[in-house]
Amino acid sequence: MTHDAQDAIDAVLAVDRLVHEPARLAILTVLGGAELVEFGFLETVCRLSKGNLSSHLSKLEAAGLVSIDKSFRGKRPLTRVSITGQGRDALERYRRQIAALINSAPTPNEETP
Amino acid sequence: MQTETAQLSRLAENTSRYARYSRSAGGLSLVIGGVLCLAAFTIGATVELTPAWRYVLVAAPLLWLASKELLRAFYYQRAGAVRERLSDKQRRGHFWMVAYLAAMALLIIGGLAWSAGARTWQWPGIAYVAIVAAMPLVAARWFWSTGDFLVGVLLVCQAAVVIVGLNYPWYWILIAALYAAIAIPTGWREHRDYLRLRDELGLRTAASEAADA
How close does chain B come to A28, measured CA to CA in Å?
A: 9
Q: Which residues from chain A sit within 8 angstroms of residue B83, using beta carbons?
A: 34-37
**Of B36, B31, B29, nearest to B69 (Cα)?**
B29
Residue A111 has pLDDT above 60, yes or no: no
The arithmetic mean of pLDDT across residues B187-209, rounded, is: 85
- What is the helix, strand, coil percentage profile of chain A, to 5? 65, 15, 20
3-state secondary structure chain A: CCHHHHHHHHHHHHCCHHHHCHHHHHHHHHHHCCCEEEHHHHHHHHCCCHHHHHHHHHHHHHCCCEEEEEEEECCEEEEEEEECHHHHHHHHHHHHHHHHHHHHCCCHHHCCC
pLDDT of residue B150: 94
What number of residues does chain B have? 213
Q: Which residues of B touch A (CB under 8 A)?
A: 1-2, 4-5, 8, 11-16, 18-19, 77, 79-86, 201-203, 206
**Interface probe, candidates B72, B85, B201, B208, chain A, greatest A C-beta count within 10 A:** B85
What is the number of other CB atoms lying within 10 angstroms of the CB of residue B104? 15
pLDDT of residue B125: 87
Q: Give the single-character DSSP code of A67.
A: E
- Enter the pTM of the model: 0.88
Q: Which CATH architecture has domain A3-101?
A: Orthogonal Bundle (1.10)
The arithmetic mean of pLDDT across residues B97-113, rounded, is: 95
B208 or B117: whose pLDDT is higher?
B117
pLDDT of residue B208: 61
The structural domains of chain A, with segments of one domain joined by +, span 3-101
pLDDT of residue B175: 96
Predicted-complex ipTM score: 0.84
pLDDT of residue B143: 95
**Interface probe, candidates B3, B10, B15, B91, chain A, greatest A C-beta count within 10 A:** B15
